[in-house]
Amino acid sequence: MKINSKDVLLVIDVQNDFCPAGALAVGDGDAVIEPIRRAAQCFQHIILTQDWHTPDHNSFASAHPGKKPFEQIKLSYGRQTLWPDHCVQGTHGADFHPELQLTRAELILRKGFRCEIDSYSAFFENDRTTPTGLSGYLRERGLACVFLAGLAYDYCVGYSALDARRLGLPAVILRDACRAIDLNGSVAAIEQEFAASGVELMNSGDLSD
């Protein structure tokens, strides 16, 4: 697939805490770096997202006495999976993986910094209505098609792709440049949503500039 000047590569949360030895490590998470860097060579426009949680974030199991990571609770905006403390603002775990090195990125979008609400998608908080501002940025820059890669496939990458479609943007996930958590069948569930919403899947090797 030939990439043009209206396409953007959206690299989701390739941070130390989601890579091996991190607080919320995704299996084989650092294996996304090579295909992402290869894909990036085809794009004029690159955006990075960065999970950026407060130390007392409401999505952390530690914020709810008696609860353990990966349990679910009900919050004002719906069901919330509780996570180990991760990607806390200003910590090593929140830093981008040192091998990512996408210095051409035009924007770093931080998300999840509101302590009362989690944020999987690069476009909306988990209440599905509070915007991050990314859609306005893309619109003003004239960027019309979103290619996604990073961590994790079945959470932040997937939610971002679905929201891109909800906003009327074509969304293509580079499958070999993602890794999944697959918590309680989350991969199969989100892939059903991809099929229903028109999210496309391809590999980084299918791209050309």
Q: Which residues are catalytic?
A: 13, 111, 156
Query: Locate tokens 């590569």: which residue?
Result: 9
CA distance 149 to 158: 9
Q: How many CB atoms within 10 Å of residue 70?
A: 13
CA distance 138 to 149: 17
CA distance 22 to 52: 15
Q: How many CB atoms within 10 Å of residue 187?
A: 15
End-to-end CA distance of the chain: 8
Taking phi first (over 0 means left), then psi (-120 to 50 degrees means alpha), and beta for anything else, what does residue 102 get? beta
CA distance 160 to 2: 22
CA distance 77 to 84: 20
Query: Number of helices (H) and strands (E), helices first, in the chain?
Result: 4, 8
